[in-house]
């Protein structure tokens, strides 16, 4: 599920991807995926692509928040929660700082087709 979300985010220009294992402090969630978009339109496109790809592959979305403003979109897929941020919100809320004790989860970034 994480790799599908990563691939979808990258395909729409998502940047600065970080996956954190939050299963210790949050027993109902395994991973937070943090992604940055460079505009509201880009944030919305990234979130929509991630949601579409995960649903197409059979994963059920539990909740979605923030799509209308597209400054911080949260996609809850149960074990995976994706946070797609506008650059300013990512810095302001600093989720990496809040969850700094959680281990980083490795993932593959697809090679640039260019």
| CA dihedral of residues 49, 97, 27, 1 (deg, nearest 10) | 20
The DSSP 8-state label assigned to residue 23 in this structure reads T
d(CA 36, CA 57): 23
User: Is the Cβ–Cβ distance between 35 and 84 less than 8 Å?
Assistant: yes
Domains by residue range for the chain, with CATH: 2-98 (3.30.460.10)
d(CA 70, CA 38): 11
Q: Residue 30: how many CA atoms within 13 Å on its side-chain side?
A: 7
The mean pLDDT values, 10 residues at a time, for the chain of 114 residues are 97 97 92 97 98 97 95 97 96 94 92 52
User: Is the Cβ–Cβ distance between 5 and 17 less than 8 Å?
Assistant: no
In this predicted model, what pLDDT tens digit does every residue of 27-48 receive, in sequence order? 889 999 999 999 999 999 999 9
Residue-level pLDDT at 114: 46
Coil, strand or helix at 88: helix
pTM: 0.92
Residue-level pLDDT at 56: 97
Choose among 5, 10, 22: nearest CA to 110. Answer: 10
């Amino acid at each position: 599920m994480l790799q599908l979300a990563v691939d979808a985010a990258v395909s729409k220009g998502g940047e600065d991807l970080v996956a954190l294992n939050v299963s210790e402090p949050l027993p109902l969630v395994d991973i937070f995926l943090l992604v940055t978009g460079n505009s509201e339109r880009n944030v919305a496109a990234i979130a929509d692509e991630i949601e579409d790809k995960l649903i197409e592959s059979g994963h059920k979305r539990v909740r979605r928040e923030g799509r209308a403003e597209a400054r911080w979109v949260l996609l809850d897929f149960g074990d995976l929660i994706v946070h797609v941020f506008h650059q300013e919100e990512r810095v302001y809320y600093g989720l990496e700082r809040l969850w700094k004790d959680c281990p980083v989860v490795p993932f593959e970034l697809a090679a640039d087709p260019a």
